[in-house]
Structure 1
Amino acid sequence: MAWPAIATRCSCVNSPGGKFIPLSVKSPSRLSRPKRNTNMSQSTLFTAARPAGQFTLRPLLPADVRLIHRWVTRDYARFWGMQDHAPEQVAEFYQQLTAKDPHAALIGCCDGEPAFLIECYRASEDEVGRHYPAQPDDYGMHILIAPAVTPVSQFSWQVFSTVMDYMFSRPEVNRVVVEPDVRNDKIHRLNKRAGFRYQHTIDMGHKTAWLAFCQRDDYQQALLQDSLMNNTTPLLNGSHLTGHDWLQANRLLIRKAIAEFAHEKLITPVDVGSGRYQLAVPNGESEYVFSAQRLALDHWEIDVASLQKQENGHRLPLDALQFIEEFNAQIGIPQALLATYMEEISSTLCSSVFKLQKNNPDSQALVKADFQTLESSMTEGHPCFVANNGRIGFDARDYLAYAPEAATPVRLIWVAVHRRNAHFSSISELSYARLLQEELGQAALDQFAAQLASKDVVAEDYILMPVHPWQWQNKLLTVFAADIANQDIIYLGIGEDHYQAQQSIRTFFNRSQPQKRYVKTALSVLNMGFMRGLSPYYMATTPAINEWLETLVANDSWLQRCDFRILREVAAVGYHNRHYERAIKGDSAYKKMFAALWRDNPVTDLQPGQRLMTMAAFLHVDHQQQPLLPALIADSGLPAEQWIDRYLNCYLSPLLHCFYQHDLVFMPHGENLILLLENNVPVSAYMKDIGEEIAVMNPDAVLPEKVQRLAVDVPEHLKLLSIFTDVFDCIFRFISAILHQSDTLSETQFWQRVAQCVKDYQQAHPQLASKFARYDMFAPEFTRSCLNRLQLANNQQMINLSDPAENLKFAGTLENPIAKWR
């Protein structure tokens, strides 16, 4: 886009004073996250609510030229380089600019009135690209703000942040480059406020400019710091909770509550014909009405737009908290736990509103998105649990800083812990010294060593470990105060690397150095029926368990044929608070507050044409109710049945083999499985959360000493639920519905492919025939195990991980959808 006039532009031009509004502007107090318009046939490409009003971006139109001409010929726009242009010259320039890309020039409006002009370009195709090694995902932008009519505080920043939000809403943009004139002090302040890192000056002929870059992480960190300093973010003043998005969040959650509570036989909607259902409120005159399809495994596919609450012919607002109140006699939450569950519902609603207002790519854009963009773009947590985003313990600032969907870069705290209370464990090939060298580097190690020396302690007596910042501030400084006073715990500082929280909330991906290992930390936040701590006792044996499983997988020809992989937890540190451990009998969250582990990173295995995503992405539906999975299948070029066969070979077949051959089961839900895709076709699966969430369902199994805690005694009739519940009911039920609703694959076709996968496995392993008969995958029905009933009964600790079958809740049976293909 190297047109002659562009060479004279800087990255942003403001009129005097830096405060601008369009000709008529309202000043509402709303402020919310931006939204990208996913229907590009419409004129509006992007929207963002700001204090000055509703900002929108649309393509530049010929009718805009006279207005733009009045802007660019003003004295304040001298850096734009068009002060002597006639209207015809301006028109010709923008006609040429947008000939190849209609979105190269955009008009920004505030409450419908033109307020600023944007030019967007690929840096490698612009003059700036000749001054540094431009990357394919480097994009630049120029901003011209309309002349001021009435001052509006922070208007320039509101425009600038809207443009940055738009730039990073485009999956192809990883870094924004600017080249502002060195004399333009106003834009330097805005650039730095947005996180731009200034490199050096460059001579562009017509000007001397700064070369500056801003990556997604830089911008997100800058926004967080800005919001915390200025206290203007809507999450801190509550303004994001007003309006349509709050209503939509309630609609979505009630839709899910009806579907999942009906699935678990807690409530019983009444069929009134033609696919319509009624659910009467107990002891009241109101009712919920909706359209739904009943699919395999008693799945309720409810049309979200059809859902209404009414009383005597009048529509009532949809209120998820009120829904819980109305039906608690049926769903049975103990009175002592009701308030906590309602708080989790409220927190889940707040999270939903944030996601609705967050500028996520739509499903079509996610087809090409990178791993971590996908990770932060998921709109739903666990598909079965209704209250799945509780995060009890986080305040609004914590949510912005640490929630996975916020994707805010996090720097971990490092501490030194005394070996009399702490232990380090690792796989045999990884030493403590090598781990620290690879994760921290020599400079940080020298700095930490100097701090320990200044404390007059022996460095060799200590183990270094990372800590979640929230855990340090909210738990360790108080619960472990005695240990800190005794210098058994010594604060060293904040690490240099920036991490991104993953969907599991306490696991971090290294954004600064993406080839490094994942880090998982203890986090004493209540979420979905568990306090998200880490047991120091488990940490002592976790690497040994991973090493044992790695050997098992490597030596098993069928698992190798399926290319089944594990993400090893290669090292761990656990710290024991002796006071609490002596005083508290039995299990307690206080015994799981201080531990960390390092996990392999699948990014290191990637080859050209390959990408990663969690299996949760296969269940993803964007804010326009468009699912990602059909778009992935379509992009792959494979027929849907072949694509599903490839997926089942990666996922179901190895799980069957581990169960029948090794009595080995996992927790194979969407977030626990990372899929490797090649040209958007599944080719491999990585299982994670090995040390905490796998079991050998044979108490007499001969296992190495450090692996023996995996052996559990499960009743015979419940063993196969590790497939029927965890895979069929919690994953395939939703995949089947998505494919069916999108006309990608009928549910009959899907379940036939599942049946064929099972038959292929059984035919390949005739030596296991007696086990196939004992644990019959083609049984007519199986026990209906109910996850919400678990959480409703005890939202503090749903199950005992050492005895997973102990607390299970059942409600009759489900028809086996593959039984007819025996």
Structure 2
Amino acid sequence: MSAPVLGRAAGTGPLAADPDLGAGHLEPVAVGRAHRHLVTKALAEFSHERLLTPEPAPGPAPGPADALGRTWWELGTPAGSRYRFAARVLPLEHWDVDPATVSRTVDGLPAPLDVLALVDELQPLLGLPDRLLGTYLEELSATLAGAAWKLHHRRADARALARADLQTVERSMTEGHPAFVANNGRIGFGVSDAAAYAPEAGAPVRLVWVAARREHTHLACGAGVDERSLYASQLGPGQLGRFADRLRGLGLDPADYLYVPVHPWQWEHRVAVTFAADLGRRDLVPVGTGEDRYQAQQSIRTFFDLDRPDRHYVKTALAVQNMGFLRGLSPAYMRATPAINDWVAGVVAGDPELGGSGFAVLRELASVGYTGDAYHRTAGRGTRSPYQRMVAALWRESPVPRLAPDERAMTMAALLHRDAEGRSLVGALVAGSGLPARAWFERYLDAYLRPVVHCLLAHDLAFMPHGENVILVLRGDVPSRALMKDVGEEVAVFGDRPLPGGVERVRVDYDDEVRLLSVFTDVFDGFLRHLVAVLDGDGLLDAGAAWRTVAACLAAHRDLHPALHRRFDLFTPRFRHSCLNRLQLRDTLQMVDLADQASSLQFAGTLANPVAPHRPDGA
């Protein structure tokens, strides 16, 4: 349990009076539904990545395809169990599996669905090493527990959620990354930690603040920001005065320190233990908790200020294992983050096409990191470890000051959300907009796809534009523009265009085929594949018409910028099939080398490009 200073009682807190000890959601109905959801997703995504090869099976009368166009399939496992389900296979080999139809037999007898048993049965096909099986199963178990918690506690109607504010939507999401099966690992969180800090819990959090000795700490600020203005705007004179009084009371000079926001879990489990020597030397000094209440975002270690929404997001180091990474922050790596964000924001703001669309980036304005510990002293011998990524933070612009009175913001991940009754949020938006579904989808593509493509073709600039990294701005229920975030860690610049010295880190040297994967993999396969399935499944816009609309968006951009398309063919018949679960299954502890991500990619042949049949004349 956390110490009382963090606002969570020790020994006599909520769990002490709870006979379920915080595990009331782990009951048969919720866990059974969570197993069904995850088994369905595993069958769908592992088949999409060609790890599994389901075989056609006879279906119920009147024939192999039912009224919804679903075909019956069977899958035998090396362990001898068999799975049977109905599914449609949409463009991009997207397996739209009906959860209600999934069944399992063992030795010919009906057996309950169990996602952990499924992975065990499929291990020889998944390429999951024995030494990492336990870690993957633990991440999967945590994902199962999180799904059960959401099923047990969350009943938000998608129709109401479609009109909710940014933070209500953020905490109401029931699915993490749409492709990863084990997408909610959080290894290190206990049940009370999840209740206090998980995004879906939506519990207000007050951050811990630590003073770090200036000579061992680096603060980097972007354009228009300096140390004084940063702390004044994000903490205010009252808190700054209290922090300074705390230092003076210990006989320390506040001028010798910088302030670092710390996740409460990180303070209790890492900083106050792993950095005991630094605290003993007064190189790190706890100065108290912040006044403002924050809410964890879907990315778990990033916080939004509930009390003053105009203040910046705060992204903290968090040493929990989640989706193939320990979620720390490297002081050395982040040193260039504000400069990278300034440069990217300048490129975007200076382009008339992007400016006309309203596309912009939420800048990471400042970063701070402490390096005076023993773990960093070993770095001189070439040692790299997670312990070097545990005391650091950054500040990112909030979208709220950028909104006009008639605008509201929503995470793009919400477009894939279904509520407990199966209603889709995007369906509610389309209904509320008064537009035909195709017209609504066109507006969305103009706000999201077109600027992402333009950045790549005009500026050799690629983002990681998945749902959690994009904030959609809506007027009414219609997307009008997109704001990109998480720029410092995930942006890439191709080619040899001149870059400022501090920005050189983001340059990568890949061939044109890999460059285009930033559209084909990250946008087409990583997001639009899932959104098209929702639109099709709800009867709003069939998959063929949806991909024709995508093609029309690309063609319209080509008509205005023909020179940009001469080198790159977005209508190529096929592209390489880059697979995300294969990455995690190969190494559950570190999926990719962040310094050379392309070298880590896992491919499974090629996919048919769904816009290729709609190639415009002359393209």
TM-score normalised by the chain length of structure 2: 0.94
1:686 partner amino acid: L
Alignment of 1:749-788 (within 5 A): 749-771=545-567, 775-788=568-581
Answer whether contact 2:360 2:484 (CA < 8 A) is retained: yes
Bigger relative contact order, structure 1 or 2, given CA contacts below 8 A and separation 6+? 2
Q: CA deviation at 1:227?
A: 8.7
Task: Return the match for 2:43 from 243, 255, 258.
Answer: 258
Answer whether contact 1:411 1:497 (CA < 8 A) is retained: yes
Flag the 1:476–1:511 CA change in 2: closer, same or farther, 3 A.
Answer: same
Flag the 1:716–1:448 CA change in 2: closer, same or farther, 3 A.
Answer: same
User: For residues 756 and 722 of structure 1, what CA distance do their matches in structure 2 show?
Assistant: 19
Q: Which runs of 5+ in 2 are unaligned?
A: 1-5, 59-63, 65-70
User: For residues 428 and 113 of structure 2, what CA distance do their matches in structure 1 show?
Assistant: 31
User: For residues 141 and 215 of structure 2, what CA distance do their matches in structure 1 show?
Assistant: 43
Alignment of 1:579-618 (within 5 A): 579-584=374-379, 585-618=382-415
Task: Return the match for 1:812 from 605, 608, 612.
Answer: 605
User: For residues 579 and 289 of structure 2, what CA distance do their matches in structure 1 show?
Assistant: 42
User: For residues 544 and 10 of structure 2, what CA distance do their matches in structure 1 show?
Assistant: 52
Q: Deviations over 1:639-673 (max 9, x none)?
A: 11111111111111111111111111011000000
2:607 partner amino acid: L
User: For residues 312 and 449 of structure 1, what CA distance do their matches in structure 2 show?
Assistant: 69
Alignment of 1:537-552 (within 5 A): 537-552=332-347
Q: CA deviation at 1:607?
A: 2.3
Structure 2 counterpart SS, 1:231: helix
Answer whether contact 2:22 2:192 (CA < 8 A) is retained: no
Task: Return the match for 2:54 from 248, 251, 269.
Answer: 269
Task: Return the match for 1:738 from 528, 534, 553.
Answer: 534
Task: Return the match for 1:722 from 518, 521, 531.
Answer: 518
Answer whether contact 1:235 1:396 (CA < 8 A) is retained: no
User: For residues 292 and 346 of structure 2, what CA distance do their matches in structure 1 show?
Assistant: 32
User: For residues 621 and 731 of structure 1, what CA distance do their matches in structure 2 show?
Assistant: 15
Aligned: 1:281 with 2:77: yes
Task: Return the match for 1:423 from 193, 196, 218.
Answer: 218
Structure 1 counterpart SS, 2:31: helix
Q: CA deviation at 1:311?
A: 4.0
Q: CA deviation at 1:589?
A: 1.4
Aligned: 1:472 with 2:267: yes
Answer whether contact 2:312 2:397 (CA < 8 A) is retained: yes
Q: Which residue of 1 aligns with 2:129?
A: 334
Structure 1 counterpart SS, 2:13: helix
Structure 2 counterpart SS, 1:795: coil
Structure 2 counterpart SS, 1:671: helix
User: For residues 748 and 314 of structure 1, what CA distance do their matches in structure 2 show?
Assistant: 39
Task: Return the match for 1:392 from 166, 187, 204.
Answer: 187
Answer whether contact 2:82 2:105 (CA < 8 A) is retained: yes
User: For residues 511 and 714 of structure 1, what CA distance do their matches in structure 2 show?
Assistant: 42
Number of aligned residues: 597
Q: CA deviation at 1:579?
A: 2.2
Q: CA deviation at 1:514?
A: 1.7
Answer whether contact 1:224 1:401 (CA < 8 A) is retained: no
1:789 partner amino acid: R
Q: Which residue of 1 aligns with 2:460?
A: 663
Q: CA deviation at 1:768?
A: 2.0
1:472 partner amino acid: W
Flag the 1:339–1:312 CA change in 2: closer, same or farther, 3 A.
Answer: closer
Answer whether contact 2:457 2:565 (CA < 8 A) is retained: no
User: For residues 717 and 805 of structure 1, what CA distance do their matches in structure 2 show?
Assistant: 12
Task: Return the match for 2:162 from 364, 367, 381.
Answer: 367
Aligned: 1:231 with 2:16: yes
Answer whether contact 1:641 1:753 (CA < 8 A) is retained: yes
1:440 partner amino acid: L
1:821 partner amino acid: H
User: For residues 617 and 587 of structure 1, what CA distance do their matches in structure 2 show?
Assistant: 37
Q: Deviations over 1:50-87 (max 9, x none)?
A: xxxxxxxxxxxxxxxxxxxxxxxxxxxxxxxxxxxxxx
Q: Deviations over 1:727-772 (max 9, x none)?
A: 000101001110001010011111011001111111111222432x
Q: CA deviation at 1:543?
A: 1.0
Task: Return the match for 2:543 from 738, 747, 753.
Answer: 747
Q: CA deviation at 1:447?
A: 0.9
Flag the 1:557–1:237 CA change in 2: closer, same or farther, 3 A.
Answer: closer
Q: Deviations over 1:1-22 (max 9, x none)?
A: xxxxxxxxxxxxxxxxxxxxxx
User: For residues 228 and 811 of structure 1, what CA distance do their matches in structure 2 show?
Assistant: 50
User: For residues 34 and 176 of structure 2, what CA distance do their matches in structure 1 show?
Assistant: 14
User: For residues 132 and 20 of structure 2, what CA distance do their matches in structure 1 show?
Assistant: 27
Q: Deviations over 1:292-337 (max 9, x none)?
A: 0010000100111011112465321111111111000100111111
Alignment of 1:51-450 (within 5 A): 228-233=13-18, 236-273=21-58, 274=64, 275-284=71-80, 286-311=81-106, 314-450=109-245
User: For residues 305 and 11 of structure 2, what CA distance do their matches in structure 1 show?
Assistant: 23
Q: Which residue of 2 aligns with 1:640?
A: 437
Answer whether contact 1:712 1:802 (CA < 8 A) is retained: no
Q: Which residue of 1 aligns with 2:68?
A: none
Answer whether contact 1:695 1:712 (CA < 8 A) is retained: yes
User: For residues 369 and 227 of structure 1, what CA distance do their matches in structure 2 show?
Assistant: 36
User: For residues 579 and 322 of structure 1, what CA distance do their matches in structure 2 show?
Assistant: 42
User: For residues 364 and 231 of structure 1, what CA distance do their matches in structure 2 show?
Assistant: 37
Q: Deviations over 1:546-571 (max 9, x none)?
A: 11111111110111111101101111
Q: Which residue of 2 aligns with 1:690?
A: 487
1:271 partner amino acid: P
Q: Deviations over 1:560-600 (max 9, x none)?
A: 11110110111111111442123253542122111111111
Answer whether contact 2:207 2:261 (CA < 8 A) is retained: yes
Answer whether contact 1:785 1:809 (CA < 8 A) is retained: yes
User: For residues 155 and 376 of structure 2, what CA distance do their matches in structure 1 show?
Assistant: 44
Q: Which residue of 2 aligns with 1:455?
A: 250
Task: Return the match for 2:308 from 491, 513, 533.
Answer: 513
User: For residues 377 and 350 of structure 2, what CA distance do their matches in structure 1 show?
Assistant: 42
Q: CA deviation at 1:228?
A: 3.1
Answer whether contact 1:468 1:523 (CA < 8 A) is retained: yes
Q: CA deviation at 1:538?
A: 2.5
Q: Which residue of 2 aligns with 1:499?
A: 294
User: For residues 601 and 12 of structure 2, what CA distance do their matches in structure 1 show?
Assistant: 44
1:796 partner amino acid: L
Q: CA deviation at 1:283?
A: 3.8
Structure 2 counterpart SS, 1:236: coil
Flag the 1:645–1:296 CA change in 2: closer, same or farther, 3 A.
Answer: same
Structure 1 counterpart SS, 2:422: coil
Flag the 1:226–1:516 CA change in 2: closer, same or farther, 3 A.
Answer: farther
Q: CA deviation at 1:225?
A: 9.5
User: For residues 238 and 379 of structure 1, what CA distance do their matches in structure 2 show?
Assistant: 18
Flag the 1:629–1:413 CA change in 2: closer, same or farther, 3 A.
Answer: same
Q: CA deviation at 1:609?
A: 3.0
Structure 2 counterpart SS, 1:779: coil
Answer whether contact 1:545 1:691 (CA < 8 A) is retained: yes
Structure 1 counterpart SS, 2:597: coil
Q: CA deviation at 1:483?
A: 1.4
Aligned: 1:705 with 2:501: yes
User: For residues 311 and 475 of structure 1, what CA distance do their matches in structure 2 show?
Assistant: 44
User: For residues 224 and 541 of structure 2, what CA distance do their matches in structure 1 show?
Assistant: 46
Q: Which residue of 2 aligns with 1:621?
A: 418
